[in-house]
Amino acid sequence: MTNLHRTIVRPVMTEKSSAAYQERREYTFEVAPQATKPAIREAIQTLFGVTVTGVWTANVRGKTRRVGKSVGRRADWKKAIVTLRDGDTIEVFEG
Amino acid sequence: MTIQITPKKATGVERLLEVSVPVDRVRAAEDRAAHRYASTVRLPGFRPGKAPAAVVRKKFAQAIRQQALEALVQEAYKEVIEQEHLTPAAQPHVHEVKFEDGKPLTFELHLELRPNVELARVTGFRATRNARPVNAAAVREQIDHVRDQRAAWTPVSEKPAPGDMVAVTLATLEGPASASGESAEGREYRLVLGGGQAIAGIEELIMEAVPGQTIERAVRWPDDFPDETQRGQTKTVRVTLNDVKRKSLPDLDDAFAREVGDFDSVAALTAAVREDMTKQATREADAEVRQRLIDEIISANPFDVPPSWVARLVDAYAESYKIPADDRAHFDTELRPVAERQVRRDLVVEAIAKRETLAATEAELDERIAEVAGQRKVSPSEIYASLEKAGRLREIEQSITEEKVFGWLLANNTITESGERE
Rounded distance between C-alpha atoms, residue A78 and residue A87, angstroms: 27
| Tally of domains in chain B | 3
Q: By the CB < 8 Å criterion, does A23 face chain B?
A: no
pLDDT tens-digit series, residues A36-53? 999 999 999 998 999 999
CA distance A95 to chain B (A): 4
Rounded distance between C-alpha atoms, residue B83 and residue B85, angstroms: 6
Claim to verify: residue B236 and residue B282 sit in the same structural domain? no
Candidates A15, A22, A95; nearest CB to B46: A15
**How far from chain centre, in Å, is Cα B11?**
30
When the candidates are 3.30.420.10, 3.30.70.330, 1.10.1050.10, 1.10.220.10, the CATH number that belongs to A2-86 is 3.30.70.330
Claim to verify: residue B235 and residue B277 sit in the same structural domain? no
Tell me which DSSP letter residue A75 carries. P
Claim to verify: residue B222 and residue B107 sit in the same structural domain? no
Q: Is residue B126, in this structure, part of any structural domain at all?
A: no
Q: By the CB < 8 Å criterion, does B31 face chain A?
A: no
What percent of the residues of chain B are helix, what percent strand, and what percent coil, each to the nearest 5?
Answer: 50, 20, 30
Report yes or no: A35 and A63 within 8 Å, Cβ to Cβ. Answer: no
Q: In A, which residues are within 8 Å of B53 by CB distance?
A: 95
Which of the residues A18, A28, A90, A94 would you substitute to probe the B interface, choosing the one with the greatest number of B C-beta atoms within 10 Å? A18
CA distance A44 to chain B (A): 21
Query: Domain segments of chain A: what residues?
Result: 2-86
Low-confidence ranges of chain B (pLDDT < 50): 176-183, 420-422
Claim to verify: residue B292 and residue B409 sit in the same structural domain? yes
The average confidence (pLDDT) of chain A is 88
Distances in whole angstroms, Cα of residue A61 to Cα of each of A8, A30, A37, A69, B25: 18, 13, 19, 22, 48
Claim to verify: residue B297 and residue B241 sit in the same structural domain? no
Residue type at position A40: I
Q: Is residue B371, in this structure, part of any structural domain at all?
A: yes
Residue B318 belongs to a domain with what CATH number?
A: 1.10.3120.10
Look at residues B248, B282, B299 and tell me which one is the last residue of a structural domain. Answer: B248
Claim to verify: residue B271 and residue B391 sit in the same structural domain? yes
Look at residues B206, B222, B248 and tell me which one is the last residue of a structural domain. Answer: B248
Q: Is residue B411, in this structure, part of any structural domain at all?
A: yes
Claim to verify: residue B197 and residue B317 sit in the same structural domain? no
Q: Is residue B118, in this structure, part of any structural domain at all?
A: no
User: Which pLDDT value is given to residue B196?
Assistant: 75
For A39, phi then psi, to 5°, come to: -65, -40
Beta-carbon separation of B52 and A95 below 8 A: yes
**pLDDT range class, residue A94, cuts 50, 70, 90:** low
Which candidate, B66, B74, B62, B87, places its Cα nearest to that of B19? B74
Claim to verify: residue B273 and residue B237 sit in the same structural domain? no
CA distance A2 to chain B (A): 30
Q: In A, which residues are within 8 Å of B54 by CB distance?
A: 94-95
Report yes or no: B328 and B318 within 8 Å, Cβ to Cβ. Answer: yes
Claim to verify: residue B276 and residue B405 sit in the same structural domain? yes
Q: Is residue B340, in this structure, part of any structural domain at all?
A: yes
Helix axis angle, B362-376 relative to B393-412, nearest 10°? 110
Residue B179 belongs to a domain with what CATH number?
A: 3.10.50.40
Which candidate, A46, A14, A45, places its Cα nearest to that of A30? A14
Q: In B, which residues are within 8 Å of A12 by CB distance?
A: 45
Distances in whole angstroms, Cα of residue B177 to Cα of each of A9, A83, B180, B230, B239: 101, 113, 6, 17, 13
Candidates B53, B55, B57; nearest CB to A13: B55
Beta-carbon separation of B51 and A15 below 8 A: yes
Report yes or no: A8 and A29 within 8 Å, Cβ to Cβ. Answer: yes
Claim to verify: residue B275 and residue B410 sit in the same structural domain? yes
Beta-carbon separation of A15 and B47 below 8 A: yes
Q: By the CB < 8 Å criterion, does B35 face chain A?
A: no
Share of chain A above pLDDT 90, in %: 55
Beta-carbon separation of B51 and A18 below 8 A: yes
Query: In terms of CA atoms, which chain A residue is nearest residue B49?
Result: A15
Beta-carbon separation of B45 and A94 below 8 A: no
Rounded distance between C-alpha atoms, residue B167 and residue B190, angstroms: 4
Q: In A, which residues are within 8 Å of B45 by CB distance?
A: 12-15, 17
Q: Is residue B256, in this structure, part of any structural domain at all?
A: no
Q: In B, which residues are within 8 Å of A13 by CB distance?
A: 43, 45, 55
CA torsion through residues A20, A23, A26, A29, sign: positive
Beta-carbon separation of B54 and A14 below 8 A: no
Full domain range(s) for residue B20: 4-112
Look at residues B217, B248, B279 and tell me which one is the last residue of a structural domain. Answer: B248
User: Which pLDDT value is given to residue B170?
Assistant: 83
Q: By the CB < 8 Å criterion, does B53 face chain A?
A: yes
Rounded distance between C-alpha atoms, residue B53 and residue B30, angstroms: 11
Q: In B, which residues are within 8 Å of A94 by CB distance?
A: 54
Claim to verify: residue B193 and residue B301 sit in the same structural domain? no
**pLDDT range class, residue A2, cuts 50, 70, 90:** low
Residues 6+ apart with CB under 8 A from A14: A28, B45, B46
Q: Is residue B172, in this structure, part of any structural domain at all?
A: yes
Determine the 3-state secondary structure of B169 from DSSP: strand
Rounded distance between C-alpha atoms, residue B383 and residue A9, angstroms: 72
Rounded distance between C-alpha atoms, residue A49 and residue B166, angstroms: 105
Claim to verify: residue B349 and residue B398 sit in the same structural domain? yes
pLDDT tens-digit series, residues B6-48? 777 777 777 777 878 788 888 888 888 888 888 888 888 888 8
